[in-house]
Amino acid sequence: MTEFPEERRNMARTKPLGVYAERKDLISRKIRGRIAESGLRPADIFRRKVIDRSTYYHRMGDAGTLRLEEIWRMEAAGVRFTDEDLLAMFGR
């Protein structure tokens, strides 16, 4: 069995942020901002059956799992994304 230095043995066990952590955080902030700008709240999105509550919070926690269909349903509900927003989500 491999022995680790004392400081490594006592380190907290956390999920690594990943390569795209900063990008995912930016996407989550953009989505929340666009929902707010449209005059809607997340509760309105859930009530209109655009996206399930648990799915929404999961996607905001890991924006890399967001699906194109969910963006389309948000836009149909009145949330407007700019081309720049969409490019940040799915492009570069």
This prediction has a pTM of: 0.74
Side chain identity at residue 38, one-letter code: S
Give pLDDT tens digits for 15-31. Answer: 556 667 888 888 999 99
Residue in this structure with the two tokens 């999920």, named with its chain if needed = 15
Give me the pLDDT at residue 3, please: 65
Long-range CB contact pairs, 19-23, < 8 A, 24+:
20/64, 23/63, 23/88
Give me the pLDDT at residue 72, please: 94
- Assess whether pLDDT exceeds 60 at residue 12: no
Whether the CB-CB separation of 59 and 70 falls below 8 Å is answered with yes
Q: How far is CA 77 from the centre of its chain?
A: 18
Query: What is the band of 37 on the pLDDT scale with cuts at 50, 70, 90?
Result: very high
Give me the pLDDT at residue 50, please: 94
From first CA to last CA, the distance across the chain in angstroms is 43
Counting residues of the chain whose pLDDT is more than 90, the rounded percentage is: 57
Give the residue extent of every domain in the chain: 20-90
